[in-house]
Amino acid sequence: MTTETLRSDSEDTTIALGKEFASRLRLGDVVALYGDLGAGKTEFVKGICSYFEVEQLVTSPTFTIINQYDGVFPDGDAVKLYHVDLYRIDSQEELAEVGFDDCVFAHDAIKLVEWSEKAEHLLPAAHYTVHIATDAIEDTVRQITLGYQTLPIGATKL
Ligand SMILES: Nc1ncnc2c1ncn2[C@@H]1O[C@H](COP(=O)(O)OP(=O)(O)OP(=O)(O)O)[C@@H](O)[C@H]1O
Ligand SMILES: [Mg+2]
């Protein structure tokens, strides 16, 4: 697992960091975003979507659970983005009901998942992680840790 820690001191910086991060994403990738309520996960996703030139308004899928956006790679190839927020999901049944399994394994989309703690077992073995931590003193400061998670050799994913 490789990690890289960045500092953001404003909403705009977090968006810019999301945009920069997005250049490494390929079709089928999953990004799991971690952090408390209001940490800035959705702001980071806005940055990712801006890299892919998404024209729809990117808002929190708290109630819709899964939002779908249309974007393009810099070379002009189309890409679908699923923006998922599992905060309100409380059971396996609800996960199935909203179609999370199909969504997370879709090969023709990039998946951006907030509160993926609720479905850790359904994430593919290899996925990007974004941890956003607030600062105890400064309101607008965030520590953003980027990682790429893979299962250790020999481990099996349930
Ligand atoms: N450096 C920063 N980076 C990101 N957001 C910031 C920063 N400083 C202040 N903010 C504010 O923090 C809030 C972050 O909200 P956001 O919806 O992105 O959080 P979230 O992590 O997605 O929360 P939730 O779990 O509720 O979905 C926004 O109101 C934003 O303006
Ligand atoms: Mg959010």
How much distance in Å is there from the Cα of 31 to the middle of ligand 2? 13
Question: Residue 76 and residue 78: Cα distance in Å, rounded?
Answer: 6
pTM for the model:
0.95
pLDDT recorded at residue 109: 98
pLDDT recorded at residue 152: 67
Residue nearest to atom 8 of ligand 1 (CA): 140
In tens, the pLDDT along 106-150 reads 999 999 999 999 999 999 999 999 999 999 999 999 999 999 999
Question: Residue 47 and residue 56: Cα distance in Å, rounded?
Answer: 13
In the predicted structure, residue 74 carries a pLDDT above the cut 80: yes
In tens, the pLDDT along 59-73 reads 999 889 999 999 999
Residues around the ion ligand 2 (C-beta < 5 A): 41-42, 60, 114
Q: Which domains does the chain have, with CATH numbers?
A: 2-149 (3.40.50.300)
In the predicted structure, residue 157 carries a pLDDT above the cut 90: no
Tell me, using a 6 A CB cutoff, whether residue 116 lines ligand 1: no
Count of helices and strands (H, E) across the chain:
4, 7
Tell me, using a 6 A CB cutoff, whether residue 42 lines ligand 1: yes
